[in-house]
Structure 1
Amino acid sequence: MMTTLSNTPWDKLEIGMEAEVRRVCRADDFFVFANITGNMNPKHFPRMKDFEGTDALHEPVAPAMWVSTLISSALGNKLPGPGTLYKSHKVEFFERAHDGDELVVKVVLTEKLDNNVAKFACRVDTTSGKKLLEGFVEVFAPLEQMDYNVDDIPGMIVQRHVHFDKLLKEAEPLPPMKTSVIAPESEDALLGALLGADHTIIDPILIGDEVKIRAAAKAIGRDISGFELIHEPNHKLAAAIGVRLVHEGRAQAVMKGQLHTDELLGQVVKRDGGLRTGRRLSHVFVMDVPGLTHLLLISDAAINIAPDLETKVDITQNAIDLAHTLGIEVPKVGILSAVETVTPKIPSTLDAAAISKMAERGQIRGALVDGPLAMDNAIDIEAARTKGIQSMVAGQAEILIAPNLESANMLAKELTFIAHAEAGGVVIGAKCPIILTSRADDEKARLVSCACAALYAYKKPPA
């Protein structure tokens, strides 16, 4: 449906005409205003870290100038409407608005001056009766009739990662998880482990070449004297030590440092002394995507290259188990393919249909599972409705199971580098979680990978 704005030209304006708009204050509005104006006053943000000696949450105050700009929405959209240009603006502020307040913006035409200047009385109140501002505005009213379609104006998504903030908040009070960190011999690999320690999420045991580890610590200006350090320059043997510490009960997780993933996982999956369970290992990306109201889990993007049906079942169950520990009680799982219909020429649609039926029969537990679903109708409810898909999962999937490693990896990295998502990752299916980090990960991604592993380790029900 097209949205069109119409104006009231100068010659049709009459004294006493009025217009009103309503707007609910949101914290996202305050972040946008801060980025536009450069006003980074922390009183306007939900968290005042390092401000007045506290980092506690507080109720953000709406910037007064943001409130006053709402007057322009009544003038530019309604009266006089499109074509209006500001001349002067004089207001006085009274009380303050906060996140969640609904504001009523009202303008009343009081005078028609020379040169098509119209003077309006303006006022902004909350629906609860607080008077926020009052004053006068003069504008140049449009001389001609104008209709304007606003549908083509681009929208905006605030780049925030509130879901990751929640995970970190839940993980930090847990006891620090003893973690075998294998070959933290580069600056970024060591920093990832130390960040987890800084936030009391993990307690790292550093295993690798002591000379390289200490050199990395010196390069980043960190003191590692308080951490256990086991010297083993051979990466294969270092990984074996890390796995052994899990068997001995000295570690509850394993973290990858500066070594090849194959070297680490080779020790994890070996039959004698490894960390195998009865299930295939799989990697799960945990993603905080701006604009989504929930976490998004994607699997498998790092281990199983071309999984068969049996492996996909384990991949799906692993992701579900992780989702439970991250607070998603009954996750909605979309099994992805290129289309949403079962087509023998596209094998992934057959696997998706089989996995959905297996979930229906109780062979996959703890989630709502549907497939095949194409990406659009897996995550967008309108796309699902347009295609007539009626499902508890379609349009609202929280877990996406990709057909193969290539598609999962591309999907996760597209969301990261194009949609500005943050991505943490953890390997599930072994006797303990395995934290895989990348040199491209930023601090938040490294921390969340540790947090996901800790939440999984402490909250997963006993087998």
Structure 2
Amino acid sequence: MSNGHHFTRPITSESHIRSATSLPDGLPDRLEALIERARPNQPMRTAVVHPVDGDSLGGALSAAEHGLIAPLLVGPPHRIRDAAEAAGLDISTLPIIATAHSHEAAERAVALVHTGEADALMKGALHTDEFMHPIVDRSQGLRTARRMSHVFVVDEPSYPRLMLVTDAALNIHPNLEEKRDIVQNAADLARALGIRLPRIAIVCAVETVTPQMQSTLEAAALCKMADRGQIKGALLDGPLGFDLAVSPGAMHSKHLHSEVAGRADVVVVPDLEAGNMLAKQLEYLADARLAGVVLGARVPIILTSRSDSTHTRLASCAVALLYRQWQLEQSALVTSAPDTT
């Protein structure tokens, strides 16, 4: 909330009304729509790292049954099989790549990407730091020229469209250069999910450029970077308060003219703490459902929480597959473009 204004839920002709009878297995239909969009694509060969509990195994099996991934279970075989038996899951047809422990599982999964045997990684029952450590390794990891960042894909009942929130899981205090990559990653994912020209709100506590608030200076700089082609494929505005980003009523009451305000597709937060709290408030207080993926690495990384449901893991796999397919299509376009030199 900026300047003491209360958040107003958007009321527009696009308002999305949920029907309990239309939600298969309790999934919000906008996430279900992404799953259905992803299913015709070739399943991703996905290294599932240390899936030694029922939740991570169940998520991988569900995604395989929906045709989203072809799982490679990486971890101690006896623990994987014990977890499957305890959860009543049949993994007899899935390959198990044996490792001694979780740290080795994460390293082996990265190696599978390097050898071309895996198209994506999926976190199982291990800590995020341990999972990400070999991924971000500067010599043997999966870094690219772009900063890695996490994007939540949020389906909140009162908002008339999917909302992407970034970065709420990876970069603690990103600087301007890192925020440029965070914004570009989110813009690319939005386009992969079918948003032709995503509207990106750089949110801060206030909507004016204020020298005492570094985040507002960086928001303004990001918008100018988009003007100069340093960020491509999106409309940016900022700084914007969160109310201005999502509420047409707040935009009109403050007499703001913006192509982004009131209908943001992407919300870029100033730091991880703000993003993490925003995402969890939407999930626990506003009945939102979330999917999540890490971008900017050589392959998509499905970074789910150990407490996430099978449905969340399934939706996250769909998001990763749509992004992977979009990357392949973009690469094909570049390859087939005529040489004008």
**TM-score exceeds 0.5:** yes
**Alpha carbons of 1:27 and 1:302: their partners in 2 closer, same or farther (altered >3 Å)?**
closer
1:102-122 Cα deviation digits (max 9, x unpaired)? xxxxxxxxxxxxxxxxxxxxx
Aligned residue in 2 for 1:96: none
SS in 2 for 1:274: coil
* Runs of 5+ consecutive residues of structure 2 not aligned to the other structure: 1-14, 335-341
Q: After TM superposition, list the pairs within 5 Å mapping 1:4-403 onto structure 2.
A: 31=20, 45=21, 161-403=28-270
> Residue 47 of structure 2 aligns to which amino acid in structure 1?
S
1:320–1:367 CA contact under 8 A, matched in 2: yes
Distance in structure 1 (CA, Å) of the matches to 2:101 and 2:191: 37
Structure 1 stretches (4+) deviating beyond 6 angstroms? none
Indicate the residue corresponding to 1:445 in structure 2.
312
Most deviating of 436-445 and 351-360:
436-445
Q: Specify the alignment match of 1:16 in structure 2.
A: none
More strand by share: 1
User: 2-side partners of 1:160 and 1:353: how far apart?
Assistant: 37
User: How far is 1:272 from its partner?
Assistant: 2.0
Q: CA deviation at 1:264?
A: 1.8
Give aligned-pair identity as a percent.
Answer: 49
Larger Rg: 1
The separation in 1 between residues aligned to 2:22 and 2:155, in whole angstroms, is 19
C-alpha contact 1:167 1:326 (8 A) present in aligned 2: yes
Q: Residue type matched to 1:454 in 2?
A: L
Residues 299/188 of structure 1: CA separation in 2 closer, same or farther (3 Å cut): same
What is the TM-score of this pair, normalised by structure 1?
A: 0.66
SS at match of 1:286: strand
Query: 2:4 — aligned with what?
Result: none
CA distance in 2: counterparts of 1:440 and 1:276, whole angstroms: 27
Q: Alpha carbon RMSD of aligned pairs, Å?
A: 1.9
Where structure 1 has 5 or more consecutive residues not aligned to the other structure, the ranges are: 1-25, 32-44, 51-158
2:276 aligned partner, one-letter code: N
Point out the structure with the larger helix share: 2
Q: Secondary structure at the match of 2:221?
A: helix
Structure 1 range deviating more: 263-272 or 280-289: 263-272
The alpha-carbon deviation at position 239 of structure 1 amounts to 1.0
Secondary structure in 2 matching 1:190: helix
> Residue type of the partner of 2:55?
D
Q: Which has the higher contact order (CA 8 A, sep 6+)?
A: 2
Q: TM-score, normalised by structure 2?
A: 0.89
Of 429, 435, 439, the residue aligned with 2:296 is 429
**Mapped contact 1:168–1:448 kept (Cα < 8 A):** yes
Whether the aligned pair in 1 keeps the contact of 2:44 and 2:68 (CA below 8 Å) is yes
Residues 279-336 of structure 1 show CA distances to partners (whole Å, capped at 9, x for unaligned) of 1100000011102221100000111001111111111001111111111110000001
| C-alpha deviation, 1:46, in angstroms | 5.1
Give how far 1:178 is off: 0.5
Pick closer, same or farther for the CA change 1:290–1:46 going to 2, 3 Å.
Answer: closer
Q: Is the 8 A contact 2:16 2:157 kept in 1?
A: no
The DSSP-based 3-state class of the residue aligned with 1:272 is coil
